[in-house]
Structure 1
Amino acid sequence: MRRPLLEICVDTPEGLAAALRGGADRIELCSSLALGGLTPTPGLIALAARADVPVYAMIRSRSGSFRYSAAELDAMRLEIEAVRRAGLAGVVFGANHADGRLDRDALSALLAASDGLGRTLHRAFDLAPDLGEALETAVSLGFERVLTSGGALRAPDAVPMLARLVQQAAGRIAVMPGSGVRAGNAAALLRETRASEIHASGRRPLPSDPEMARWGFDVAEPADTSEDEVRRLRAAIDAP
C-alpha cells in the first residue's frame, strides 16, 4: 500500500520552503490563506516553479463567494495561463450558483482554459446542498480530485460523510480531506475515511504587530507554515 499523499497549502516564500523541508508531497500555492486562499503572486509562482514536488496554484481572484461574473472568469483564465507559462503542475478552483450548486458552465470554462494541467476542485464543493450530486458533477467534468471537509467547517467533524464520498468516488476521482487537519487527527482521518490524500496548512502563529493590524496592513492573528508541524504531519500519516 502506497504511503498517503500529504498536500500542504502555503502563501509565503518562507512557508513554501518550510513545507518542502518538512516533507510535503504536493503544494497548494496561494496568497492570503487568512481569507481561504487567493491567487498567488507572480513572484511566489516563480519561486514555486523551482520546487521538486508538484505545485498547484489557487485560482481565486478575490475573497468572498464563488459566484463569478464574466469579467472575473476572464481574469481567472488569464491567471491560469500565467500558471501554465510558469511551469506549475496544476490549478485549484471552484464556482457555485447562488443556491450552492456547482456552476457547471463556469467550471467548464475554467477547465477548458486549464486543459493539460492537473485540476483540483476546492471547497466550493462543500457549499453544495447535495454533496453526492456535486461529486458526480466533479467526476463528469473531469476533475482529478476534490478538496473537501465533508460539508462541515472542519474535516474531523464530518468523517462519516467523507467516508461515503470516498466510497462513492470508487477511484474515479480522489477525495482529499482538508480543513482542521493536524498531526493529532490526520492518521485517524485517513484510516476512517479510506482517503489516500490529505490536505493541511501546518501553520503556527506568528508574533503579531498590533500597530500594523490597526492600520489594516496585517491580520490580527498572523500565521505561517511551520517545518516542524509539517514534519509532525508527515510522521503521523506515515506511522505503521
Structure 2
Amino acid sequence: MIFKEVAVENFTKIPTAVLKGANRIELNDNLAVGGTTPSLGVLQEATKYLQEKSVPVVEMIRPRGGNFVYNDLEIKMMEADLFQAQKFGVDAVAFGALTNDGNLDEDAMEQLIAASAGMQIVFHMAFDALAEDNKKDAIDWLIDHDVDRILTHGGPLTTPIDQTLGNIKKYIDYADGRITILPGGGVNFKNVDEIAEKLDVKELHGTKIIDGVNN
C-alpha cells in the first residue's frame, strides 16, 4: 500500500484529493514557485476540513519563492506562521533554511525547529539546493534535531525524476531508516508505483500523484 501525499494550492482541490484517496495533504499557496505559506483563512478552513476527515495536513512554511537563504525578518515571519500552525492543530510543517554557500543554516533551523514544538517537521526541497558534498552531513544534522522527513527530487526540478532516482536511492541508503526520505517532484499517478518499487519506499509526494487532482 503506497502512502500518497498530495501537494495542493489553497483549499479548492482538497475535497477531491481526499475523495480520491489522498493519505496526507501538503497545503501551499503559489505552487508555481514551488509553494509558499498559505493564508490564515485557507489554513483555518483546510485544517478544520481535514481534521473532520482524519487526513493529516502538512503546512508549507515559506515566506516567498526564490532561494532558501532567509534574513532575520523572514525567519521571524516563519516563526509567526509556525505558532499559527500550532494553534490550528496542524500535523506537520515543511521548511528549510540554507546559507549562501550551500550549507544548512543551522541557527535559523534551530529557531524554526524550536517554534515547531509538537508538530512533525519536514525539510522540504531546499535539500536539493544543498551542495552535494554537504548532503550526508545535513541528513545527520536533521536526524539529530528530530526532523521527521526530507522531501527530495534528487536533483534540480528541471531534471526528470527517472534520471534522479539514483541520487534519491543514495540518500535512502545513507539515512538507513533513521529518517524518512520522501521522493517528490515529477511523481505522478502514472509513475508512482514504478518509482515506489525502484526505490523500495512506501511514501511518495506529488501534485499529480492521484488521477484527477491537479491534472
> TM-score surpassing 0.5?
yes
The question of 1:120 aligning with 2:161 is answered: no
List aligned pairs for 1:1-240, cutoff 5 A.
3-49=1-47, 50-51=49-50, 52-130=54-132, 131-153=135-157, 154-202=160-208, 228-229=212-213
1:137 Cα deviation from its structure 2 partner: 2.2
Tell me, yes or no, if the aligned pair for 2:189 and 2:211 is still in contact at 8 Å.
no
Runs of 4+ in 1 over 3 A off after TM superposition: none
Q: Deviations for 1:24-82, whole angstroms, at most 9, x for unmatched residues?
A: 10110010001110001111111221212110100001111111111111111000011
Write the letter of the residue equivalent to 1:228. G
Tell me, yes or no, if the aligned pair for 1:91 and 1:120 is still in contact at 8 Å.
yes
Tell me, yes or no, if the aligned pair for 2:148 and 2:179 is still in contact at 8 Å.
yes
Tell me, yes or no, if the aligned pair for 1:59 and 1:80 is still in contact at 8 Å.
yes
Query: 1 CA distance for matches of 2:211 and 2:90?
Result: 22
Aligned pair in 2 of structure 1 residues 227, 14: CA closer, same or farther (>3 Å)? farther
RMSD of aligned alpha carbons: 1.7
SS at match of 2:6: strand
Query: 1 CA distance for matches of 2:199 and 2:180?
Result: 12
Q: Deviations for 1:75-123, whole angstroms, at most 9, x for unmatched residues?
A: 1100001111111111100011112211111111100000110110000
Q: Which runs of 5 or more residues in structure 1 are unaligned?
A: 204-225, 233-240
Q: Which runs of 5 or more residues in structure 2 are unaligned?
A: none
Write the letter of the residue equivalent to 1:165. Y
Query: 1 CA distance for matches of 2:45 and 2:208?
Result: 20
Tell me, yes or no, if the aligned pair for 1:166 and 1:194 is still in contact at 8 Å.
no
Query: 2 CA distance for matches of 1:187 and 1:134?
Result: 28
Write the letter of the residue equivalent to 1:99. D
> What is the aligned-residue identity percentage?
32
Q: Report the equivalent of 1:214.
A: none
Write the letter of the residue equivalent to 1:147. L
Higher helix share goes to which structure? Answer: 1
- Comparing 187-196 with 169-178, greater Cα deviation is found at 187-196
Query: 2 CA distance for matches of 1:158 and 1:133?
Result: 20
* Number of aligned positions between the proteins: 207
Query: 1 CA distance for matches of 2:124 and 2:205?
Result: 11
Query: 1 CA distance for matches of 2:32 and 2:165?
Result: 24
1:189 Cα deviation from its structure 2 partner: 1.1
Query: 2 CA distance for matches of 1:184 and 1:37?
Result: 23
Write the letter of the residue equivalent to 1:117. M
SS at match of 1:228: coil
